[in-house]
Amino acid sequence: MIKYLPLKEITASYEPEISDALRRIVERGWFLLGEECAAFEQEYASYIGCNHCIACGNGYDALWLIFRAYRAMGILKDGDEVLVPANTFIASVLAITNNNLTPVFVDPDSNSYLVGEEGLRSATTSRCKAYLMVHLYGQCAYNSAVADFCNERGIIIVEDNAQAHGCMYDGKRTGSLGNAAAHSFYPGKNLGALGDAGAVTTNDKKLADTIAKLHNYGSNQKYHHEEVGVNSRMDEFQAAILRIKLRRLDAENNRRRAIASQYISGIDNPLVRLPQVRDFDAHVFHIFPLMSECRDKVVEALAKHDIQTQIHYPIPVHKQECYPEWHSLSMPMAEKLSMQEVSLPLHPLLTDAEVAEIIGIVNSIG
Ligand SMILES: *Cc1c(COP(=O)(O)O)cnc(C)c1O
């Protein structure tokens, strides 16, 4: 049996450090906005290379808080348009629409599955005030052409770094490249908590101060509320776990890259298309996406050997039941991905022998 993501084994690989940390917090008796959270914020800000980090409840909240803060600051207003990849996870889009902002879907590039400068240029209208740049599958979506395009038009770049912790572009980490970034520490991410957790990173002090209030009931002084805030805080247990796991993130991302290169050099079957990687350093392989016109065959062949796969994502956001207003949109590449994409297992504990077994099965599909 090869699980897509063996969370039990991955968690066990951090023992006894995790159990020790949890016990320490129980004994300390301080559970929210305490020393673990403050230390994590500092360590994560320095890892990403940003002046500010605000820990919060989950990745969606981190995205929502960024747009909510820009509204509180008067930089975004109701109805402003936000560019967003058509093939992202729905959380990216919900953070836009739940802020009374309007998503403008951009179909991704057919080689990288990322939004490029060309796609951005053709989708942008005069009402576009921000671009939610998603480093999808763990690959950096930032480049100088995209940055120049946004700078020329005064478009704010918000990064969705949920899938790309540790990814590097030109000596800088994703999450430090745009105006602000949202990070998810959902258990299955490259840096995963044992429950929900998220964070915002930015070099914009005003934005950081606004979010620091918004995520704690609009307050930075108990019982004084300056903003109409929400409750979205990271608890001390999750912060302590993330501090432990952060120390091994780079090593684990290196292992992910080694597995990905084993897949890329080993898989050779005209029925499947490998991901096109431009720069291995700018990829942390949260997901290893294959494309195939006979995806069901690939899924079944692997399932027959007890090997789990996933699909990212089976229904594009603009075709979801909750968004009937976008159903008539045509996003050919996002729709093709939804029909042909299949993700192979890829996690730091996967062994060379398991990778070889998966490659053998994929190559035998005829
Ligand atoms: C996981 C994910 C999120 C949401 O994170 P949560 O912590 O589950 O709220 C947002 N965007 C992308 C691209 C994701 O993969």
Q: What is the pLDDT along the chain (366 residues), one digit of tens a residue?
A: 999 999 999 999 999 999 999 999 999 999 999 999 999 999 999 999 999 999 999 999 999 999 999 999 999 999 999 999 999 999 999 999 999 999 999 999 999 999 999 999 999 999 999 999 999 999 999 999 999 999 999 999 999 999 999 999 999 999 999 999 999 999 999 999 999 999 999 999 999 999 999 999 999 889 999 999 999 999 999 999 999 999 999 999 999 999 999 999 999 999 999 999 988 889 999 999 999 999 999 999 999 999 999 999 999 999 999 999 999 999 999 999 999 999 999 999 999 999 999 999 999 999
Atom number, ligand 1, closest to the C-alpha of residue 61: 9
Within its chain, how far is the Cα of 318 from the centroid?
Answer: 19
d(CA 357, CA 305): 9
Q: Which amino acid is at 132?
A: L
Helices and strands, number each (H, E), in the chain: 13, 11
β 198-202/52-56 pair status: antiparallel
d(CA 70, CA 78): 11
Atom number, ligand 1, closest to the C-alpha of residue 63: 10
d(CA 140, CA 151): 18
Distance of CA 188 from the midpoint of ligand 1 (Å) = 10
User: 104 pairs with which residues across the strands?
Assistant: 83
- ∠25-27-31 over CA atoms, to 5°? 40
Atom 1 of ligand 1 has which residue's CA nearest to it? 162
Distance of CA 29 from the midpoint of ligand 1 (Å) = 30
- For residue 134 and ligand 1, the question of a CB distance below 6 A is answered with yes
- Percent helix, strand, coil in the chain, to 5, is 40, 15, 40
Atom number, ligand 1, closest to the C-alpha of residue 58: 7
pTM: 0.98
Residue identified by tokens 């996933």 is 310
d(CA 359, CA 340): 18
pLDDT digits (tens, 9 = 90+) for 75-99: 999 999 999 999 999 999 999 999 9
Report DSSP letters for 134-189, one per residue. E-GGGB----HHHHHHHHHHTPEEEEE-TT-TT-EETTEETTSSSSEEEEE--TTS
Distance of CA 269 from the midpoint of ligand 1 (Å) = 32
Query: Rounded to a whole number, what is the distance in angstroms from the first to the last CA of the chain?
Result: 23
Atom number, ligand 1, closest to the C-alpha of residue 88: 13
Which mutation among 63, 84, 89, 98 tests ligand 1's pocket best, with the greatest number of atoms within 8 A of CB? Answer: 89
Q: Tell me how far CA of residue 358 lies from CA of 198, 252, 291, in angstroms.
A: 33, 20, 15
Distance of CA 85 from the midpoint of ligand 1 (Å) = 14
Q: How many CA atoms lie within 13 A of 246 on its CB side?
A: 17
Distance of CA 60 from the midpoint of ligand 1 (Å) = 6
The pLDDT, as a whole number, for residue 219 is: 94
Contact at 8 Å (CB) between 79 and 104? no
The pLDDT, as a whole number, for residue 13 is: 98
Sign of the alpha-carbon dihedral angle for 77, 97, 108, 280: positive
Atom number, ligand 1, closest to the C-alpha of residue 198: 7
Distance of CA 341 from the midpoint of ligand 1 (Å) = 19
Distance of CA 135 from the midpoint of ligand 1 (Å) = 11
Token duo for residue 315: 């229904």
Contact at 8 Å (CB) between 142 and 149? no
Atom 10 of ligand 1 has which residue's CA nearest to it? 91
Atom number, ligand 1, closest to the C-alpha of residue 62: 9
